[in-house]
Amino acid sequence: MLDKTFDPKSAEPRLYAAWEASGAFQPTDNPAAEPFSIVIPPPNVTGNLHIGHALNNTLQDVLIRFQRMRGKAALWLPGTDHAGIATQMVVERQLAAAGNIGRRDMGREAFVAKVWEWKAESGDQIVQQLRRLGASCDWSRERFTLDEGLSAAVRKVFVQLYKQGLLYRDKRLVNWDPQFQTAISDLEVETREEPGKMWWFAYPLEGEPIDGVSEIVIATTRPETMLGDGAVAVHPDDERYKKFVGRMVRLPIADRLIPIIADEYPDPEKGSGAVKITGAHDFNDFQVAVRHNLSLLSIMDEQARMAGPIPERYLGKPREEARKMVLEEIEALGLLRDIEEKLIARPYGDRSGVIIEPFLTDQWYVDAKTLAQPAIKAVEQGDMVFEPRNWEKTYFEWMRNIEPWCVSRQLWWGHRIPAWYDDDGGVYVEETEEAAQAAAGNKSIRQDEDVLDTWFSSGLWPFSTMGWPENTEDLKRFYPTNTLVTSFDIIFFWVARMMMMGLHFTGEVPFKRVFINALVRDAKGQKMSKSKGNVVDPLGLVDKYGADALRFTLTAMSGQARDIKLAEQRIEGYRNFGTKLWNVANFCQRNGCVRVAGYDPAAATQQVNRWIVGETAKTAELVTKALEAAAFDEAANGLYRFIWNTVCDWYVELAKPILNGPDGAAKDETRATVAWVLDQCLVLLHPVMPFITEELWAQTAEGGPDREGFLMSTAWPELPLSLVDTVAEREIGLVIDAITEGRSVRQGLNVPASAKPALLVIEGADWQLSTLDANAALVAQLLRVSEVRREPAVPEGAIPFVVNGATLALPVAEFIDLAAEKARLAKELAGLDKEIARFNGKLGNPEFVAKAPEAVIEENREKLAEAETAKSKLESALARLAAVG
């Protein structure tokens, strides 16, 4: 006997452990099986499962379970990312909180050891959390971006790119994070628009005034950088300033002479039209400075404190303080011309939240422009497709305007750059220190202190995890992968980089399809964030409702283009769905619906059974097609409708009279069919709700033929649409309509529940009557009337009403408000008149008849005929009603 409800808390861990122990997560070694592979977007090794992971991994699991059941050699390769900057940040913060010394005082080795310690401590948390979700990853193949093999792949890639001239060291402006004191890539900079000020300064002209003008006014939002100005630029066509070009101004405070130059860069419409050029602290200015061969004055250090060739009183001052000092001094000098309130776009480090400083340093760059070309082409020619398709625009846009990728980070947690230097400026890029030393001869060498951007190793993920550069069996069998499931916020960071690296090093796209999932927001549509306190913890939801309910919710909502607004109520609803399934299984058990060996759905004889077999086949078709197309929501919603509305609401109800009836062939067949339908439901629902279906699979094993292994390893059903019996479909449809309509009218008539009047079927098209006749007992039971029978006419005192073209009668005038019923019929009649007029109008329109498709015209004719029949029934019903009352 089944328990009253499914208890996910005890069942889920038990089932998961059993699956894992059985080796069912590993791809089959059947050589005939077609491979299907997914690599997981590796979460931060020390991270926690958030709702985005839950969505993303649920979809992957749905896919992989589906493909596994279809007999593919399905591999879902899991792993984690070392997440350089994020992890280092966490550990540094912990050290600080514990009152320990900072990492710089601690030294590299000790600090990195600390991070490994932290990884060991919290490293498998997220992996355990994925298990709680039900993720059927092949844990025997689990990888980590910093493990031995992946590190070797990283070194190989770095060295090869270097030797191919696609990776180089360069001194240029980078985005510098003064808190972490490292360079970051363009993508890690977040521009925020904030209210700020723009100050207008006058720079005195050196020498004679021109036309009485003895100063040039510049506008700036960053006054402190003026100390590093190398020039003032004006547009060559700007009449106001043309004459000043070639002269010098005296830079206030710094007290240096700088030239006035002409350049296309200044926009005469903006600000004063004259721009101060600070080559070492602004990306635009840098380009101007290079064009004009201006010297680049760095006036800040790694922590964004003032430094360099500037007045002594500024040295060591933080940039904010320096700004105040400059403003005060400029004002005191009488050179402040104006202050303008303005929205300023400021760059912030996406991790540190600190304002980024353009900073002149030596860094390693990848020639992304070159690598991007094949990656663009691959998507253009469809070797890789985005799903939804639209995201390729985003991808193209970025790839076509790609800038060199700064890959070096001044951090300690990560892949150390395999480059060594000698004291004479020689650089040796090799996979090992031995090789570098060999190249350097007897010179002494030291390794580059920096590590690589986390995304450098993630970019290799699809092939490095499979053993590249070795030509492993896995690589041969499972690469390229089939589908990548990820969210749009890392298309640039990750998808694009994998495309570039994959194509360059393996000559193949790393995946054939990328499914971009939406972003999960809270019920109000706000982005979840710790500071807003609206973060939904997926594990809390799993605790409360079970993993299946959460999985179903996320799957059903995954169709949304951009955002998923997650409301807890919804999860509750899908938990109820699981319970509904559980209860229907319970019903099966109580009614002796046991699976029968060799059951042939095509051989069913009972009309309801023939009907549900067809409905099941249609659902299987729908779910299969949907999952193939990654239309996860359609699959989930189709199953929901089928199981709840079709099976539970109708099939089970229609089967009850047979199951409660006398023993015999009809009862046996129905029992077997009910059991079969339930089995199909379990199989089809399994990818989305693996736990409850697996549990029911085991619980329903009793009495029937033996179950072979787990449901998760069971074959996906192949149910041909030829199982659909259109006659059964139409007739059962009619029975359902009649019952629905009958109930509706009964309720409208306010017939008390206690009343059991007879229901008479007296008119209607023959085939409809025969259907109703055949199911008379059933209809009577479901309508809760004592009897359904045919009569030539409405008997004396009975109240007629129209259902589905047939006229039914209740001989219970005392229960019925005659006036209300008359009004109802009159209203219905008016509606029909309108409808008839509409169809007549349409069909009377020569243009419609001439141009509309034949099928549409035919449909309209049928509807017109139906409406006219219904009208005549209604009219006679009204007449008889008048006679009675």
- Rule CB under 7 A: say whether 729 interacts with RNA: no
Q: Are 853 and 837 in contact (CB under 8 A)?
A: no
Place of tokens 């000020």: 197
Q: How far is the CB of 715 from RNA (least distance, A)?
A: 26
Q: Phi and psi for 868 in degrees, rounded to 5?
A: -70, -40
What distance in Å separates the CA atoms of residue 541 and residue 574, rounded to the nearest whole number? Answer: 12
- Rule CB under 7 A: say whether 543 interacts with RNA: no
CB atoms within 10 A of CB 830: 10
Q: Are 354 and 177 in contact (CB under 8 A)?
A: yes
CB atoms within 10 A of CB 662: 7
Binding to RNA (CB under 7 A): which residues in 613-642?
637
SS3 345: strand
Classify burial at 27, counting beta carbons within 10 Å of its beta carbon; exposed 0-12, middle 13-18, buried 19 or more: buried
Q: Between 127 and 234, whose beta carbon lies closer to RNA?
A: 234
3-state helix, strand, coil in the chain (%, to 5): 50, 20, 35
- Rule CB under 7 A: say whether 726 interacts with RNA: no
Q: Which of 561, 597, 665, 819 binds RNA (CB under 7 A)?
A: 561
Q: Which of 152, 567, 758, 884 binds RNA (CB under 7 A)?
A: 567
Stretch that binds RNA, among 554-562, 601-609, 619-627, 704-712 (CB under 7 A): 554-562
Q: Which long-range contacts (CB under 8 A, 24 or more apart) does 5-9 make?
A: 5/579, 5/582, 6/546, 6/578, 6/579, 6/582, 6/692, 6/695, 8/542, 8/545, 8/546, 8/547, 8/548, 8/549, 8/691, 8/692, 9/543, 9/546
Binding mask 41-80 for RNA (x = CB under 7 A): ----------------------------------------
- Rule CB under 7 A: say whether 652 interacts with RNA: yes
Binding to RNA (CB under 7 A): which residues in 820-859?
834-835, 838, 842, 845, 847-848, 851-853, 856
Q: Between 95 and 648, whose beta carbon lies closer to RNA?
A: 648
- Rule CB under 7 A: say whether 747 interacts with RNA: yes
Binding to RNA (CB under 7 A): which residues in 492-521?
492
SS3 567: coil
- Rule CB under 7 A: say whether 222 interacts with RNA: yes
- Rule CB under 7 A: say whether 815 interacts with RNA: no
Binding to RNA (CB under 7 A): which residues in 377-416?
390, 393-394, 397-398, 401
- Rule CB under 7 A: say whether 573 interacts with RNA: yes
Q: Between 250 and 784, whose beta carbon lies closer to RNA?
A: 784
Q: Which of 576, 770, 786, 872 binds RNA (CB under 7 A)?
A: 576
Binding mask 247-276 for RNA (x = CB under 7 A): ------------------xxxxxxxxx-xx
Tell me how far apart the terminal alpha carbons of the chain are, to the nearest angstrom.
55
- Rule CB under 7 A: say whether 355 interacts with RNA: no
Q: Which of 70, 565, 822, 880 binds RNA (CB under 7 A)?
A: 565
Angle value at C-alpha 15, between 35 and 39, nearest 5 degrees: 30
Q: How far is the CB of 78 from RNA (least distance, A)?
A: 27
- Rule CB under 7 A: say whether 753 interacts with RNA: yes
What distance in Å separates the CA atoms of residue 184 and residue 86, rounded to the nearest whole number? Answer: 12
What distance in Å separates the CA atoms of residue 772 and residue 780, rounded to the nearest whole number? Answer: 10
Q: Is the peptide bond before 388 cis (omega within 30 degrees of 0)?
A: yes
Q: Between 37 and 670, whose beta carbon lies closer to RNA?
A: 670
Binding to RNA (CB under 7 A): which residues in 325-344?
342, 344
Q: Are 361 and 176 in contact (CB under 8 A)?
A: yes
What distance in Å separates the CA atoms of residue 384 and residue 545, rounded to the nearest whole number? Answer: 37
Binding to RNA (CB under 7 A): which residues in 192-221?
193, 198, 218-221
Binding mask 172-191 for RNA (x = CB under 7 A): --------------xx--xx
- Rule CB under 7 A: say whether 284 interacts with RNA: yes
Q: Which of 160, 298, 370, 586 binds RNA (CB under 7 A)?
A: 586
Q: Between 325 and 516, whose beta carbon lies closer to RNA?
A: 516
Closest by CA to 53, choosing from 130, 167, 162, 123, is 130
What distance in Å separates the CA atoms of residue 748 and residue 881, rounded to the nearest whole number? Answer: 16
- Rule CB under 7 A: say whether 431 interacts with RNA: no
Binding to RNA (CB under 7 A): which residues in 437-496?
489, 492
